Structure 1
Amino acid sequence: MEFELEHGHSREAIRARLARDPGISYLRDWIYGGIDGVVTTFAVVASVVGADLSSRIVLVLGLANLVADGFAMAAGNYSGTQAERDDYDRLLAVERKHIAIVPDGEREEIRQIFGGKGFAGDNLERIVDVITADESRWAKTMVVEEYGLAPTPRSPALAALSTFAAFIACGLVPLITYLWGGGLIPCVVATGLVFFSIGAIKSRWSLTNWWRSGLGTFGIGMFAAALAFWVGFGLKTLFNLSAG
C-alpha cells in the first residue's frame, strides 16, 4: 500500500520547513462562526414559519440577527483570544522574573521537565545547558512546558475577523434561499447542504471521513433548527389558544 507524505524529508526540505514561522490556525474560528451563523438565521426563518408570520419579519429579524449576532460573536472571540494572549504575556513576564531572581530553581524545573520526558545523564544536562543559555528561549520553554500554553499566540483581530466573515457568509444562505428561493423547502435543503459542507471541509484537518464529519455537523445544525421551528409553532399555538 502506497502512502502520500504531507511533506518532504530530505535534509534541505526539513531545513526549509523548520526555518519558516509555525503556522497559526484559525480553523476553529471559521467553523465556529459558520455553524453559528447558519443556526442563527435558520432559527429565525424556522421560528417565523412555525409561528406563521410574514416574510417581511423574516427579512427584518434575519438581517438584524445576522449583523448583531455576527458582531457579538466576533467581539466575544476577540476578547477571549486577547485574554489568552494577555495570559501568555503575563506568564512570560513571570518566568523572566523567576529566571532573574532564582535561576537555579528555574534550571531545576527545566531539568525535571525534560527528565520526565525520558532524558537522563549527560544528555539531560546538555539539554538543560542549551535551553538555559538563552533567557528568551528559557522563558518561552517554561511557558509552554510548565503552563501548557501554545508557543505562538493567535491574533485577536484575525480570530474575530474569521468568525465574523464565516458567520455572515454562511448565515446569509438560509435568509436568501427562503426569501428568493421559493419558501421553506429550498431553505431547508440549502441550509442542510451548508451544514454538511462545513463538516466535510473540516474533515480535511482531522482523521474522520468527510461524509461522517459532514453528517455529524448536519445532524447538530438541523436539530438546532428543528428546536427553533417547534418553539415558534408552540408559541403560535399557545397564542391561538389564549385568543380563543
Structure 2
Amino acid sequence: MSTKLRGGRVRDGLKAGGRRPRLSLNFRVLLREAIFGVNDGLVATVGLVSGEALSHQSHGSIIIAGLSSVGAAMVSMSVGSYLATTSQNDWVRQQIRQQQEDIARQPHQEAEEVEDLLEDIGIPDPVIPDVRKTITASRPRWLKFMVREALGVHPSHEETPLVNAITMAVAVVVGSSPPIIPFLLPISTIWARDLAWALSIMAALVVGALKGKFTGSALWKSSLQFAILASLSATVGAAIGWALGLLGA
C-alpha cells in the first residue's frame, strides 16, 4: 500500500486485532492549535473594532460587537478544531484497517513493498531479505512497520479532540483580549481605539516571538510576521469603517 499520510499520530499499539490506540496530549499539536487560535482572535478582533471605531459607532456598540465577535469566533473555531481532529483520527484508523487488510489479502505484494521501504531508508541490500523476513514473520510487527513507513503514521498517540477544542477556545479569547480590553476601560473611543492598536501590535510581537522560540525559527522574523498580519487587519478594518462612516454621514 503506497498511500502517504501526514499529521495524525498513532501509538504503536497496533496489536493483533487493530486495537484502538489511546489518546494523549501532544505538545506540538497544542502549540499549533494555540498559535492558530491566538492569531485568529487577535487579527479578526483588531480589524473589527478598528472598523467599528472609524465608522462612528457608539462606545457601547463597539463593545457589544467586539464581545459578540469573540464569542462567535470561540465557538466556531473550537467546534471546527474538534471536528477536524475527530475526522483526522477516523481517517487514520481507516487507513490502518486498510493496511491490515492489504497485508492479509496480498502478502506477497506487501512483502515486496517492505523491501522497497527498507531500501528507501538505507538498509544495505545484502541484509534486506533477512530484515524483511524478520518483519513479515509477525503480523503485528509487519503492520506496525507498514503503518510507520508506508503511511507515515509514527509512534505516540492520536490527537485528543476535546483538548484541541478547549485549547483553541482559550487561545481565541486570549488573542481577542488586547483589542477588546481598551474599550472596557473608562476612556474615550478614540483613546480606546489607539490603545487597542498599540496593544494588538505588542501582543502580536510577543506571540510571534514565543512561536519562534518554540519552533526554533528566528525571533525577529516570527514576531514581524505576526505584527504585519495584525497591522494589515487593523488597516483593512479601519479603511472599511472609515468608508462606511463617510457613506453614513
TM-score of the pair, normalised by structure 2: 0.81
- Map 1:91-240 onto structure 2 (within 5 A): 91-151=95-155, 152-180=157-185, 182=187, 183-240=192-249
CA contact (8 A) 2:50 2:234 kept: yes
Which runs of at least 4 in structure 1 moved beyond 4 Å after TM superposition? 21-24
CA contact (8 A) 2:53 2:241 kept: yes
CA contact (8 A) 1:204 1:210 kept: yes
Deviates most, 194-203 or 119-128: 119-128
What is the Cα deviation at residue 121 of structure 1?
2.9
Deviates most, 24-33 or 115-124: 115-124
Structure (1 or 2) with the greater helix fraction: 1
Report the CA distance shift for 1:97/1:230 in structure 2 as closer, same or farther (over 3 A): same
Q: Distance in 2 between matches of 1:44 and 1:22?
A: 34
Provide, for residues 66-103 of structure 1, a one-character-per-residue CA deviation record: whole Å limited to 9, x for no partner: 11111101111111111111111001000111112222
Larger relative contact order, structure 1 or 2 (CA cutoff 8 Å, min sep 6): 2
What is the Cα deviation at residue 235 of structure 1?
1.4
Deviates most, 87-96 or 140-149: 140-149
- Map 1:51-130 onto structure 2 (within 5 A): 51-130=55-134
TM-score of the pair, normalised by structure 1: 0.82
Q: Distance in 2 between matches of 1:24 and 1:97?
A: 32
CA contact (8 A) 1:88 1:143 kept: no
SS of equivalent residue, structure 2 residue 121: coil
Report the CA distance shift for 1:138/1:161 in structure 2 as closer, same or farther (over 3 A): farther
The answer for unaligned runs of 5 or more in structure 2 is 1-23
Q: Distance in 2 between matches of 1:200 and 1:78?
A: 27
CA contact (8 A) 1:39 1:224 kept: yes
CA contact (8 A) 1:81 1:154 kept: yes
Q: Distance in 1 between matches of 2:186 and 2:119?
A: 63
CA contact (8 A) 2:81 2:164 kept: yes
Identity percentage over the alignment? 24
Provide, for residues 92-122 of structure 1, a one-character-per-residue CA deviation record: whole Å limited to 9, x for no partner: 0001111122222211111111212222334
RMSD: 2.0
Provide, for residues 204-229 of structure 1, a one-character-per-residue CA deviation record: whole Å limited to 9, x for no partner: 23332212211111111211121111
What is the Cα deviation at residue 150 of structure 1?
4.9
Number of residue-to-residue matches in the alignment: 220
**Residues 1:31 and 2:2 are matched in the alignment:** no
Report the CA distance shift for 1:180/1:137 in structure 2 as closer, same or farther (over 3 A): farther
